[in-house]
């Protein structure tokens, strides 16, 4: 009799007691140190800014963020992902570093089924044959902004172009993207070691070749050094320079008028005119004291994407497959600084691509939008992905 009474009382308690919902844990990994560290720092800062605007919650769930520096080393990045999955028990991963780092993390991410959002890397293999249902390229597929530059240079009527980049997965993707749309002659392709800062020998060879146009992909401190050395050698201002990654809000702080005349391809810039972008730029400048880059914009978008997905699930992200599906659907619904966005069948972006120009004003520089090169652009690898 006593056992029956206790059981009944306990059953009644369980029926009326509210079920506490677990907090959501997000792991952020990216390069946070060294010459390229600003790229990861901006992604982190953009993500944390958006999270702060959301009350440090996705839906009604408190969010904890665990941050790791991958140091631009594939093995360190892979260890960070392992830690996120095994020790931190994360519900989602954001960042994922450079393409060479992401490729080293890919198998573990795919096998885990955990939502993973790349806010910088978009390697060709991941867009194609190695696509994964739970891995989303929120920033770009690597080729696409270079494709926009290839088309833009083609439209301008240049007959030949000299191509330069760092020797790693993204660099190769970038030059392939440019060549996909530029139909003129390629004077030469030059691949330099990742992290190289002195380009005197390469610039001498470039001067000897005397091409009609130069297209380059260098980022962070590498891009700053390369642009300065181009200017010092007298190439900037003489040979038309087109780029991706070399010009952004961070590098312009260092380059100022040295960047004058450079035309670059991007998915976003602070001059893009839509309500979410204006809100983001003001909030970022107020909090961090400088103008945000596209890397910060990608991190900011990632938080709003996750929030929209969590709201779809009423805060319950325990079912990984359901969370993945919600993120995919949220891609065309969340408020984005780009104004318009959607995930393709391979989880890569469908978005607009723009041409921007750095214009010197005295010792300073401003960015002007030149053209929308592509509207609702898709990457070249989507047909190789077997997801539907």
**Pairing outcome for strands 61-69 and 57-58:** antiparallel
pLDDT at 237: 85
The answer as to whether 301 is a domain residue is: yes
The answer as to whether 277 is a domain residue is: yes
pLDDT exceeds 60 at position 16: no
Query: How many other C-beta atoms are found inside a 10 Å radius of the C-beta of residue 379?
Result: 26
pLDDT at 203: 97
What pLDDT band is residue 363 in, cutting at 50, 70 and 90?
Answer: confident
183 & 213 share domain: yes
* CB within 8 Å of 252: residues ≥ 6 apart: 259, 358, 365, 367
Residue 88 DSSP class: I
**279-291: average pLDDT:** 97
What pLDDT band is residue 6 in, cutting at 50, 70 and 90?
Answer: very low
As to burial, measured by CB atoms within 10 angstroms (0-12 exposed, 13-18 middle, 19+ buried), residue 26 is buried
30 & 113 share domain: yes
Which run of H or E residues covers position 124?
helix 124-127
> Which residue do the tokens 């993945």 mark?
324
Residues 58, 78: Cα–Cα separation, whole Å: 26
pLDDT at 8: 41
154 & 262 share domain: yes
**103-129: average pLDDT:** 97
Radius of gyration of the chain (CA): 23
Residues 368, 241: Cα–Cα separation, whole Å: 16
**Cα angle for residues 143, 187, 181 (degrees, 5° grid):** 30
152 & 228 share domain: yes
pTM of the model: 0.89
Q: Average per-residue pLDDT in the chain? A: 93
141-161 pLDDT, tens digit each: 999 999 999 999 999 999 999
Residues 333, 288: Cα–Cα separation, whole Å: 28
Least confident range from 19-23, 58-62, 192-196: namely 19-23
What pLDDT band is residue 7 in, cutting at 50, 70 and 90?
Answer: very low
CATH code where residue 153 lies = 3.40.50.2300
166 & 119 share domain: no
Most confident of 19-23, 53-57, 247-251, 255-259: 53-57
245 & 363 share domain: yes
Residues 331, 347: Cα–Cα separation, whole Å: 9
The answer as to whether 3 is a domain residue is: no
More confident residue, 361 or 383: 383
- Tokens encoding 244: 């991706």
51 & 78 share domain: yes
For a pLDDT cut of 70, what percent of the chain falls above it? Answer: 94
Residues 80, 279: Cα–Cα separation, whole Å: 32
The answer as to whether 1 is a domain residue is: no
The answer as to whether 319 is a domain residue is: yes
pLDDT at 388: 74
pLDDT at 164: 98
The answer as to whether 104 is a domain residue is: yes
Residues 186, 194: Cα–Cα separation, whole Å: 22
110 & 255 share domain: no
124 & 168 share domain: no
112 & 183 share domain: no
190-233 pLDDT, tens digit each: 999 988 999 999 999 999 999 999 999 999 889 999 999 999 99
Question: In this structure, are residues 365 and 291 in contact, taking their beta carbons and an 8 Å threshold?
Answer: no
302 & 235 share domain: no
The answer as to whether 76 is a domain residue is: yes
Question: What residues pair up with 160 in beta bridges, in sequence order?
Answer: 185
Q: What is the domain count for the chain? A: 2
128 & 147 share domain: no
Q: Give me the torsion for CA of 51, 57, 62, 64, rounded to 10°.
A: -20
The answer as to whether 17 is a domain residue is: no
pLDDT at 353: 97
pLDDT at 10: 39
317-355 pLDDT, tens digit each: 999 999 999 999 999 999 999 999 999 999 999 999 999
pLDDT at 220: 87
**Pairing outcome for strands 241-244 and 342-343:** unpaired
pLDDT at 21: 46
Q: Give the residue numbers spanning the domain of 31.
A: 24-140+273-343
Using alpha carbons, select from 193, 138, 180, 169 the residue that is nearest to residue 327. Answer: 138
């Amino acid at each position: 009799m006593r056992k029956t009474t206790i059981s009944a009382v306990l059953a009644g308690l369980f029926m009326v007691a509210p079920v506490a919902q677990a907090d959501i844990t997000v792991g952020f990994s990216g390069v946070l140190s060294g010459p390229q560290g600003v790229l990861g720092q901006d992604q982190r800062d953009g993500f944390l800014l958006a999270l702060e605007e959301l009350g440090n919650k996705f839906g009604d769930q408190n969010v904890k963020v665990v941050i790791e520096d991958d140091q631009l080393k594939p093995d360190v990045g892979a260890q960070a992902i392992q830690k996120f999955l095994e020790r931190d028990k994360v519900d989602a991963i954001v960042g994922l570093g450079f393409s060479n780092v992401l490729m080293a993390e890919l198998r573990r991410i795919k096998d885990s089924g955990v939502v993973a959002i790349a806010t910088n890397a978009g390697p060709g293999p991941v867009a194609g044959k190695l696509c994964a249902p739970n891995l989303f390229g929120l920033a770009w597929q690597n080729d696409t902004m270079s494709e926009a530059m290839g088309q833009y240079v083609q439209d301008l009527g240049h007959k030949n172009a000299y191509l330069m980049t760092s020797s790693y997965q993204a660099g190769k993707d970038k030059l392939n993207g440019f060549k996909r749309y530029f139909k003129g002659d390629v004077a030469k392709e030059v691949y330099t070691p990742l992290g190289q800062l002195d380009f005197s020998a390469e610039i001498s060879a470039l001067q000897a070749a005397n091409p009609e146009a130069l297209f380059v992909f260098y980022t962070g401190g590498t891009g700053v050094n390369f642009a300065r050395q181009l200017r010092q050698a007298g190439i900037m201002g003489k040979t038309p320079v087109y780029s991706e990654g070399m010009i952004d809000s961070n590098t312009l702080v260092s380059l100022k008028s040295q960047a004058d005349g450079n035309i670059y391809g991007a998915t976003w810039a602070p001059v893009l005119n839509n309500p979410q972008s204006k809100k983001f730029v003001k909030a970022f400048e107020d909090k961090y004291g400088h103008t945000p880059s596209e890397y910060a914009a990608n991190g900011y978008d990632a938080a709003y994407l996750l929030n929209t997905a969590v709201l779809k699930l009423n805060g319950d992200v325990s079912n990984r497959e359901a969370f993945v599906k919600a993120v995919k659907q949220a891609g065309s619904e969340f408020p984005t600084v780009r104004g318009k966005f959607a995930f393709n069948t391979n989880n890569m972006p469908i978005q607009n691509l723009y041409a921007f120009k750095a214009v010197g004003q005295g010792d300073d520089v401003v960015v002007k939008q030149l053209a929308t090169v592509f509207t609702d652009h898709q990457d070249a690898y989507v047909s190789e992905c077997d997801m539907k």
